[in-house]
Structure 1
Amino acid sequence: MSLNEVHISSLVVHVSPEHLDEIKPQIEAFENAEIYGDSPEGKIVVVLETENQGFITDTIDAINNLPNVLSTVLVYHQIETELNDESNDKDTGTEHSQTEGEV
C-alpha cells in the first residue's frame, strides 16, 4: 500500500504591469503551473498541481525571484490523498482544504 497525494494550489502573482506579457511565459515554463487569468494591474492567477508541498514552496520562491515580480502569495491549497492497494478498489480518498488569507 502507498499513499498518493496531489497538491492543488492557487497563487496570485503581482508583477509590474508593463512587464505582464514578459512574465507570463516565464511562469508557464514552470512544470505543473498554469495561468488561469490576469489583470491589467499586473495580477496573475496561477494554479499549481504538484506531488508534494515542497514543490509548491520551491515554485513560489522561483516565481517570486523572477525579475519584475513584486510578490507571490499562496491563496488556496488543497490536498487530495488516495490510498493505493491493488487488492482493494474501494474509494479511500480524503480531502483537505485550506484557504490562505485574502487577495
Structure 2
Amino acid sequence: MSSLVVHVKPEGLAQVKAQITALPQAEVYGESPIGKLVVVLETPSHREVTDMIDTINAFEHVLTTFLVFHQVEQQGPDFEDTP
C-alpha cells in the first residue's frame, strides 16, 4: 500500500481526479480545491508503484507527485505473521 499527494493545476483537478480513479488499484481519498489530491495505491510490487507514479505524473495538469507512505506486506510460505 502506498499513499501519494498529487499536486495539480486547480483548473485540471476534476480531469486528473477522473483519470486517477480510472486506474486499476488507485483510489482518490481526498482533495483540496487549491489542487491537491490524496491517492492510495494498492499494488503487489514496488515496480507497479513507480509505474503508477510515472503514469500520474504524465497526466496533463499534474505538477508533481509525492510518495508519502509505502508499506510492503510480505506473503508466502516463508512469511511469519508476528504481533
Same fold (TM over 0.5): yes
Q: Is residue 78 from structure 1 mapped to residue 66 from structure 2 by the alignment? A: no
Q: Is residue 92 from structure 1 mapped to residue 80 from structure 2 by the alignment? A: yes
Q: TM-score, normalised by structure 1?
A: 0.74
Q: Report the RMSD for the aligned CA atoms in angstroms.
A: 1.6
Higher helix fraction: Structure 1 or Structure 2? 2
1:35-54 CA-to-partner distances (Å, cap 9, x unmatched) read 00000111000000011000
Query: Based on CA coordinates, which of the two structures has the bigger radius of gyration?
Result: 1
List alignment gaps of at least 5 residues for structure 2: none
Q: Is residue 44 from structure 1 mapped to residue 37 from structure 2 by the alignment? A: yes
8 Å contact from structure 1 (residues 64, 71) kept in 2: yes
1:65 aligned to 28, 43, 58, which one? 58
8 Å contact from structure 1 (residues 82, 93) kept in 2: no
Q: Provide the aligned length of Structure 1 versus Structure 2.
A: 82
8 Å contact from structure 1 (residues 9, 74) kept in 2: yes
Partners of 1:93 and 1:66 in 2: CA distance: 39
Partners of 2:13 and 2:55 in 1: CA distance: 17
Partners of 1:54 and 1:76 in 2: CA distance: 15
Letter in 1 for 2:59: L
Higher strand fraction: Structure 1 or Structure 2? 1
Among all aligned residue pairs of Structure 1 and Structure 2, give the percentage whose two residues are the same amino acid. 54
1:5-50 CA-to-partner distances (Å, cap 9, x unmatched) read xxx0000000001111111010111110000000011100000001
2:14 aligned to 15, 21, 26, which one? 21
